[in-house]
Amino acid sequence: MAPCGVGLAAVAPPAVGLAAVALPAVGRKSRAAGADILGGVLSGLVIVDKPQGWTSHDVVGRMRRLAGTRKVGHAGTLDPMATGVLVLGINKATRLLTYIVGTSKTYTATIRLGESTVTDDAEGEVVSSQSAAAVTEEAIRAGVAALTGDIQQVPSSVSAIKVNGERAYARVRSGEDVKLAARPVTIHRFDVHAVRPERDGAVLDVDVTVECSSGTYIRALARDLGEALGTGGHLTALRRTQVGPYTLDQARTLEQLAEELEVLEMSQAARALMPNRELSEDEATEISFGRRIAAGAGAGTPEAATADNPAAAFAPDGSLVALLADAGGYAKPVLVFAPSNEQPAT
């Protein structure tokens, strides 16, 4: 289950579009004007609508073949059962992924009350059943309200969290009873859209939308809601609709991407993701060599750029030069995106 994340850009981002990269022949790729090229391949983000049954690693492998490069990574996993937004970085844009992982996520989901499973989702064996026929919608909404805001959440025992160097799910599969420690997460929004009785009311399917911080497990919310109502509960459907500023409207299926690889260029991706700083020609030159410049306008305030939450700095031509953090009266580069020496592919 993908973690959700922290705040979005302090500066309202412009609308972000996707650059279409045609694939006319193996080994040949065109590019949008001014795009970053590394090894003949565009550097940027690809917003994938992950299909059900695929692991995030499966999608990365497919993208490596489509883009013709091994330098592909993702910004937070989705379980095989889940569908929806999976953000991939190609080439130099993989350096942006660490700043995307911690952003807020939004999901639509269906929670089934009346059954608990070993995995807290529909892929696991049912371990207990308790009729949900007496559960009212009012009680469901009260339970949801109690799970909204800042909460302490115990991740599912079959999560990818490591326990003494081994994934929790691997320990569970080997027969170990794994108990993970609770950790703080924030549920910004937990909306109930519909409550549908199934099996003559023995189970209730609850359709919800959840907006949450990084590290939240939606199936753990399903489990905890069921426990609070005395029926047990698990997740039967999950679709991620947003990761930070990147939405399902921008996402493309793998089939669509095989026809036309649509890439969000790094400059557009960074503008949407974090606060922006426009540089003069002299400042851009200094930063491109790793030198510091005068601090930004927000220095000394809570909005100051930091190493964990940097500002994206742009040259007068709009290209992404670096990510900056303010330190005292200066701004220094956290990451420098030096101009590529690669020549565009023809």
Domain limits, the chain: 19-103+244-271, 105-243, 276-336
The pTM of the full predicted model, rounded to 2 decimals, is 0.84
How far apart, in whole angstroms, are the C-alpha atoms of residue 129 and residue 194? Answer: 22
More confident residue, 340 or 191: 191
Which pLDDT score is estimated for 11?
Answer: 31
Confidence of residue 298 (pLDDT cuts 50, 70, 90): confident
**Residues sharing a CB contact under 8 Å with residue 165, sequence separation 6 or more, in sequence order:** none
Which top CATH class is 105-243? Answer: alpha beta
Domain 19-103+244-271, classified CATH 3.40.1370.10, yes or no: no
* Averaged pLDDT for residues 196-222: 95
Percent of residues, the chain, with pLDDT higher than 70: 79
Which pLDDT score is estimated for 13?
Answer: 38
Closest to 261 measured CA to CA, from 44, 37, 16? 44
**Residues sharing a CB contact under 8 Å with residue 98, sequence separation 6 or more, in sequence order:** none
More confident residue, 12 or 166: 166
pLDDT, one tens digit per residue, over 157-190 is 766 666 566 666 665 666 666 677 899 999 999 9
How far apart, in whole angstroms, are the C-alpha atoms of residue 234 and residue 240? Answer: 17
More confident residue, 42 or 337: 337
How far apart, in whole angstroms, are the C-alpha atoms of residue 221 and residue 154? Answer: 9
Closest to 266 measured CA to CA, from 34, 15, 36? 36
* Averaged pLDDT for residues 141-163: 86
How far apart, in whole angstroms, are the C-alpha atoms of residue 146 and residue 149? Answer: 8
How far apart, in whole angstroms, are the C-alpha atoms of residue 223 and residue 231? Answer: 10
Closest to 288 measured CA to CA, from 296, 279, 297? 279
* Averaged pLDDT for residues 297-309: 83
Annotated catalytic residues are 79
Which top CATH class is 276-336? Answer: mainly beta
* Averaged pLDDT for residues 208-230: 96
CB 323 within 8 A of CB 30: no
How far apart, in whole angstroms, are the C-alpha atoms of residue 172 and residue 117? Answer: 13
